Structure 1
Amino acid sequence: MSMKKTNVPGSQSFGQKLLQFIRNNTVPIMFILICAYCIPQAGFSWSYLLNEVMTRLGRNAFLILSLLIPVMAGMGMNFGMTLGAMAGEIGLIFAADWQVWGIPGMILAAIVSIPISVALGVMIGKILNRSKGREMITSYMISFTMNGVYQFVVLFMMGPIIPIVHDSLKLPRGYGIRNTVSLLSMRQSLDNLLAVQVGGVKIPVLTLLIIGLACLFIVWFRKTKLGQDMRAVGQDMEVARDAGINVERTRVISMVISTVFAGFGMIIYLQNVGNFPTYTAHTQIGMFAIAALLVGGASVDRASIGNVFLGVILFHTMFIVAPKTGAAITGDSMIGEYFRVFVSYAVITLALVMYESKKRKNKSLAGQQLAAEQAAEEEASK
Structure 2
Amino acid sequence: MSAQKKFVKFFSQYAVVIIFVMITVAAIPPSGLSIKYILQEIITRLGRNSFLVLALLLPIYAGMGLNFGMTLGAMAGQVGLIFAVNFGISNWHGLLFALLVGLPISVFLGWICGLVMNRAKGREMVTGYILAFFINGIYQFFVMYMLGSVIPMGNRAIVLSRGYGIRNTLNLESVRQSLDNILVLRVGGYAVPVVTFIIIALLCIFIVWFKKTKLGQDMRAVGQDMVVAEAAGIPVEKTRIIAIIISTVLACAGQIIFLQNMGNLATYNAHDQTGFFAVAAILVGGASVTHASIANVFIGVTLLHSMFVVSPLAGQKLFGSAMIGEYFRQFIGYGVIALSLVLYAWRTRKAAADARLGLRGGTNGSTKVSAVKNGANGAAGNGGQA
TM-score if structure 1 supplies the norm length?
0.95
Q: Give the letter for the 1:227 counterpart.
A: G
Q: 1:51-200 alignment to 2 at 5 Å? A: 51-200=40-189
Residue segments in structure 2 that go unaligned for 5+ positions in a row: 372-386
SS at match of 1:99: coil
Deviation at 1:163, TM superposition (A): 2.4
Query: Separation in 1 of the partners of 2:324 and 2:166?
Result: 34
Deviation at 1:377, TM superposition (A): 2.9
- Percent identical across equivalent pairs? 54
Deviation at 1:16, TM superposition (A): 4.9
Deviation at 1:21, TM superposition (A): 2.5
Deviation at 1:336, TM superposition (A): 1.1
| Segment drifting more, 327-336 vs 91-100 | 327-336
Q: Give the letter for the 2:95 counterpart.
A: M
Note if contact 1:42-1:322 (Cα within 8 Å) is conserved in structure 2. Answer: yes
* 1:245 maps to which of 222, 231, 234: 234
SS at match of 1:202: strand
Equivalent in the alignment of 2:280 = 291
Equivalent in the alignment of 2:381 = none
Query: Separation in 2 of the partners of 1:189 and 1:214?
Result: 19
Query: Separation in 1 of the partners of 2:70 and 2:194?
Result: 26
* CA radius of gyration, larger in: 2
Q: 1:15 to 1:374 in 2, by over 3 A?
A: closer
Tell whether 2:361 aligns with 1:372: yes
* 2:38 maps to which of 49, 69, 77: 49
Equivalent in the alignment of 1:282 = 271
Q: 1:185-224 alignment to 2 at 5 Å? A: 185-224=174-213
Note if contact 1:233-1:240 (Cα within 8 Å) is conserved in structure 2. Answer: yes
Q: Give the letter for the 2:246 counterpart.
A: I
Note if contact 2:85-2:174 (Cα within 8 Å) is conserved in structure 1. Answer: no
Query: Separation in 2 of the partners of 1:311 and 1:238?
Result: 32
Query: Separation in 1 of the partners of 2:368 and 2:35?
Result: 67
Query: Separation in 1 of the partners of 2:75 and 2:162?
Result: 24
Deviation at 1:162, TM superposition (A): 1.9
User: Deviation string for 1:322-348 (max 9, x for gaps)?
Assistant: 011111111111111111110000000
Note if contact 1:47-1:199 (Cα within 8 Å) is conserved in structure 2. Answer: no
TM-score if structure 2 supplies the norm length?
0.94
Tell whether 2:23 aligns with 1:34: yes
SS at match of 1:131: coil
Deviation at 1:316, TM superposition (A): 0.3
| Segment drifting more, 143-152 vs 370-379 | 370-379
SS at match of 1:191: coil
Deviation at 1:374, TM superposition (A): 2.3
Equivalent in the alignment of 1:325 = 314
Deviation at 1:47, TM superposition (A): 1.8
Residue segments in structure 1 that go unaligned for 5+ positions in a row: 1-11
Deviation at 1:365, TM superposition (A): 1.1
Query: Separation in 1 of the partners of 2:66 and 2:261?
Result: 25
User: Deviation string for 1:19-62 (max 9, x for gaps)?
Assistant: 43222111011111111101111111122111111111100000
* 2:251 maps to which of 262, 277, 296: 262
Q: Give the letter for the 1:168 counterpart.
A: A
Query: Separation in 1 of the partners of 2:290 and 2:36?
Result: 36
Q: CA RMSD in A?
A: 1.2
Deviation at 1:220, TM superposition (A): 0.3
Q: Give the letter for the 1:35 counterpart.
A: T
Q: Give the letter for the 1:63 counterpart.
A: L
Query: Separation in 1 of the partners of 2:96 and 2:2?
Result: 54
Deviation at 1:83, TM superposition (A): 0.1
